[in-house]
Homo-oligomer: A and B are copies of this chain.
């Protein structure tokens, strides 16, 4: 056995243990009886401790040196790059701290869910304080002399800094608010859906739509959870959605969004299974797939026309008269509190709010006790109206409860990347609109499969997008796309000139 073989066998076990941990987390959200939460926290903590010990095994450094000398191709070098980063990162993080974070966040998730249900910020603050304290300790241990926030961000978006993101956001913000103001000032009247949409019929349509976007049910599942998410890799990828009998679009677009995430995981070269390359390379690239599926494809005029037919076939009268009205309805720009329900124009403003607040929390510039006020002030300033209740404000997202700091900005990066990919995809596939109108996104999804998804973790995030899109990613394509689509829909193109 070579050093490379030893290392890869060792890492294969780590990936298998991580996959087991992912399954436990999925189960906690989807199937676990509530009383199981305390023991589940122990299980996740024990797994985190074991994984941490494996990653920091003293033999890894020697194997890495040997394997680096042996490495002959890009795949081997990429594997080693990932392993070295994980090994060095783990070595900087005390095992005790990793286990404590796993336990506390597992517990915090249940407390968050109950607090959100009860609109009870005070019930959530103590455990959120624990999570922030532990994540600040983790960030400090990881960062050394660098930026603590960037050290957390690296977990989700390697080779990207908070300052880069802040600059990107600063360039997007004026054009987005200008567009939003123009739209909200327009007198174009966009219809909304009306009716009752039975749960089982929604689930059946969700399955149909997931299949249309290529979800492989032999290698995955679709279930219901509080907060839609995707879990797993390779031949066992699970997506969830949420069902509201009065809002069928929430379910449908959650399904399309998560199917985009799942497509990435299901499409990765099987040769990378249970290796560091066998997963999406970053959350930004992941989100570029899910947002492209959801918005550029799922909310396109063509696909909306097909979906209108499927909706009326299942539900009868849905309160809009025709495909054009349905296209407008699924793209309606509307006031609202909830990020996951936000339209494409305002979505990134929700992200910028969270990005600034979580950077301040990790920097120690904002106390957990002041978070609700900070959220509500910023929301009123950015959106023009006040948060009415905590579940519509700082209790709406699961992320912070489970310790995901540095995750939110990757949603907006995903939007930026998606638009870069889409400009190129449109040039390569002139017949795209016709196939979308036939309910067949497969020309687009096959392009993404080849250009992005099959590569897994092979290329660093920005390089991945640059290779696929044919140029360094910038915010320009996203802004062009939004101004063109919504300028036309709301007849405000003149105001944007």
Q: Which residues of A contact B (CB under 8 A)?
A: 12-13, 16-17, 19-21, 23-24, 27, 31-36, 38-40, 42-43, 45-47, 49-50, 216-221, 232, 234-236, 273-274
Contact = CB atoms under 8 A, between A and B. Distances in A.
B218 A34 contact: yes
A74 to B, nearest CB: 25
Choose among A19, A38, A43 the residue with the greatest number of B CB atoms under 10 Å from its CB.
A43
B35 A47 contact: no
Given A42-B16, A46-B16, A36 B274 contact: no
A49 B13 contact: yes
A40 B274 contact: no
Choose among A20, A27, A50, A219 the residue with the greatest number of B CB atoms under 10 Å from its CB.
A20
Given A16-B39, A33-B217, A39-B236, 4 more contacts: A16-B43, A20-B21, A23-B43, A33-B218
Contact of A39 (B24, B43, B46, B274): B274
Nearest to A46: B16
Nearest to A236: B36
Given A23-B27, A24-B20, A27-B23, A236 B33 contact: yes
A31 B234 contact: no
A33 B274 contact: no
Nearest to A49: B13
A254 to B, nearest CB: 20
A199 B165 CA distance: 54
A197 B50 CA distance: 48
A235 B33 contact: yes
Nearest to A54: B50
Choose among A19, A31, A36, A218 the residue with the greatest number of B CB atoms under 10 Å from its CB.
A36
Contact of A12 (B36, B42, B274): B42
A33 B220 contact: yes
A219 B33 contact: yes
Contacts of A220: 33
A475 B21 CA distance: 45
By Cβ-Cβ distance, the 5 closest A-B pairs, closest first, are: A36-B236, A16-B46, A35-B219, A35-B235, A13-B46
A275 B273 CA distance: 35
A381 to B, nearest CB: 43
A32 B220 CA distance: 8
B273 A236 contact: no
Contacts of A47: 16-17, 20
Contact of A235 (B27, B36, B219): B36
Contacts of A20: 20-21, 24, 43, 46-47
B221 A39 contact: no
A219 B35 CA distance: 5
Nearest to A27: B23
Contacts of A50: 13, 17, 50
